[in-house]
C-alpha cells in the first residue's frame, strides 16, 4: 500500500528559519540552509524531519534516529548522533509545537468532509436563514429557520443547526453535530457528534411520576472554544449554560444545565459537570472527574483524574480522590491505608501460622 498522509506541509523551512521561530540556537551555523519539511517521532523520522528530545526515558531510541534536526536542551544535546542538526532551546516540546503549527496549519482546524465552497447539493437551508459570504455547508446538513452563520464557517455533513441559532465567523461545526438554542462566538470548533443545546436533565421526582421542569435557557459559547467529539452541553433551565473564552473541552464530556465555565479552562475526557456548577477561569479537570451540583471550583484550581468533588474548591488548589480533598492530604491518607493494609496482612499471616502450630 502506498504511504498515505492526510496532512501535507504547507512549505519546507530552512533550519535558520526554524531556529528563529522556535527561539532556538542552531549549534552548527553552517547547516542554516538545510531544509525541513516534516515532523516525526524519534524512530519514524527521516532526513527531512524535525524531532524533539526532552526525556532521557527515550534515550535508547536516539542512536538509530535518521532525523535531520532535533530541538533539545543543552543538558541533553550530547546524546544526539552527529548527523542530526542540533537546535538548542529551553523548552523543546513547546518549540516543536510552534514549528509543527507553521508546517501544518491545516491540521489546526477540522478538515472539510466535502471539498466544496458555498452550499453543496443535498444541503437544506431554510429560506429565512442568513449566511454571510464564505460560509460552506456540506451535503446532508440542515440549517433551520432564522439561523445566522458568519463568514468562513463550515457546517459538516449531517450537522443540524436549529432555529434562531447564531454562529460566528471562522467556526467549524463537525459532521453529525446538532446545535440548538445556542449562541456561538468566533473561531469555535465543535467536533463531530456533539450535542449542544438540548434539554437539561430536570425533573421534580415523586412517587406517582416525575414532573419535567421546563428548560428555557440557552447555551452561550464564547470565542476560541474547542469542544471534542460526542460531548454534550445541555441548555440552561432558567439561566444560561456558559462556556468561557478559550476553554478546551475533550471528547465525551457531559456538561449539565446552568453550568458556568470560565475562560481558558481545560476539561478532559469522560468528565461530568452536574447542573449549576461553576468553574472559574483557568480551572483544569483531569479525565473522569465528577462534579456535584451547585459547587464552585475556584480560579486556577486543578482536580486530579477520576476524582469526585462534592464541595467548593478554593482558588489555586490542587485536589484529588473520592471524595476529593487537598492532594497532599489525599496522598498521606493513601500511604496510611497502604501501611495499615500491609500490617493487617502480616498480622493475619502470623495468626494463621500460630493456629497451624497449635493444631499440629
Query: So which residues are the catalytic ones?
Result: 257
Q: Which residue in 289, 320, 285 sits closest to 300, CA to CA?
A: 285
Helical packing angle, 15-22 and 92-103, nearest 10° = 120
Question: What letter does residue 235 receive in the DSSP assignment?
Answer: P
Nearest to 99 by CA among 217, 107, 332, 114: 107
Spatial distance between the Cα atoms of 198 and 203, rounded to a whole number of angstroms: 15
Distance in angstroms (rounded) separating the CA atoms of residues 287 and 96: 25
Q: Which residues pair with 319 in a beta bridge?
A: 303, 326
Could you identify the residue written with the cell 471528547? Answer: 251
According to DSSP, residue 162 is labeled: -
- Rounded Cα distance between 179 and 144, Å, is 10
Alpha helices in 194-298 (DSSP H): none
Nearest to 159 by CA among 177, 145, 147, 144: 177
Question: 3-state class of 203 per DSSP?
Answer: strand
Amino acid at each position: 500500500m502506498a504511504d498515505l498522509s492526510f496532512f501535507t506541509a504547507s512549505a519546507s523551512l530552512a533550519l535558520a528559519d526554524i531556529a528563529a521561530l522556535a527561539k532556538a540556537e542552531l549549534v552548527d551555523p553552517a547547516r542554516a540552509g538545510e531544509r525541513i519539511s516534516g515532523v516525526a517521532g524519534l524512530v519514524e523520522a527521516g532526513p527531512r524531519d524535525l524531532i524533539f528530545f526532552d526525556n532521557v526515558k527515550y534515550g535508547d531510541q536516539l542512536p538509530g534516529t535518521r532525523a535531520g534536526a532535533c530541538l533539545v536542551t543543552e543538558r541533553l544535546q550530547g546524546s544526539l548522533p552527529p548527523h542530526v542538526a542540533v537546535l538548542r532551546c529551553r523548552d523543546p516540546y513547546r518549540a516543536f509545537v510552534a514549528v509543527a503549527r507553521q508546517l501544518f496549519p491545516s491540521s489546526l482546524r477540522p478538515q472539510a468532509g466535502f471539498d466544496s465552497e458555498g452550499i453543496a447539493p443535498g444541503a437544506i437551508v431554510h429560506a429565512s436563514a442568513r449566511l454571510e459570504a464564505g460560509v460552506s455547508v456540506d451535503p446532508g446538513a440542515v440549517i433551520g429557520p432564522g439561523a445566522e452563520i458568519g463568514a468562513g464557517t463550515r457546517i459538516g455533513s449531517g450537522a443540524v443547526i436549529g432555529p434562531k441559532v447564531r454562529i460566528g465567523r471562522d467556526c467549524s461545526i463537525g459532521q453529525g453535530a446538532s446545535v440548538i438554542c445556542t449562541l456561538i462566538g468566533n473561531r469555535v470548533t465543535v467536533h463531530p457528534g456533539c450535542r449542544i443545546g438540548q434539554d437539561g436533565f430536570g425533573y421534580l421526582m415523586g412517587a406517582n411520576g416525575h414532573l419535567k421542569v421546563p428548560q428555557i435557557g440557552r447555551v452561550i459559547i464564547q470565542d476560541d472554544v474547542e469542544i471534542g467529539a460526542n460531548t454534550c452541553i445541555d441548555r440552561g433551565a432558567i439561566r444560561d449554560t456558559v462556556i468561557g473564552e478559550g476553554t478546551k473541552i475533550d471528547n465525551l464530556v457531559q456538561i449539565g444545565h446552568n453550568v458556568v465555565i470560565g475562560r481558558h479552562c481545560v476539561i478532559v475526557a469522560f468528565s461530568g459537570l452536574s447542573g449549576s456548577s461553576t468553574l472559574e477561569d483557568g480551572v483544569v479537570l483531569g479525565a473522569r472527574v465528577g462534579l456535584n451540583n451547585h459547587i464552585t471550583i475556584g480560579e486556577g484550581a486543578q482536580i486530579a483524574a477520576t476524582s469526585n468533588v462534592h464541595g467548593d474548591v478554593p482558588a489555586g488548589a490542587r485536589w484529588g480522590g473520592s471524595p476529593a480533598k487537598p492532594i497532599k492530604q489525599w496522598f498521606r491518607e493513601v500511604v496510611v491505608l497502604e501501611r495499615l493494609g500491609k500490617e493487617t496482612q502480616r498480622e493475619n499471616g502470623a495468626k494463621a501460622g500460630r493456629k497451624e502450630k497449635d493444631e499440629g
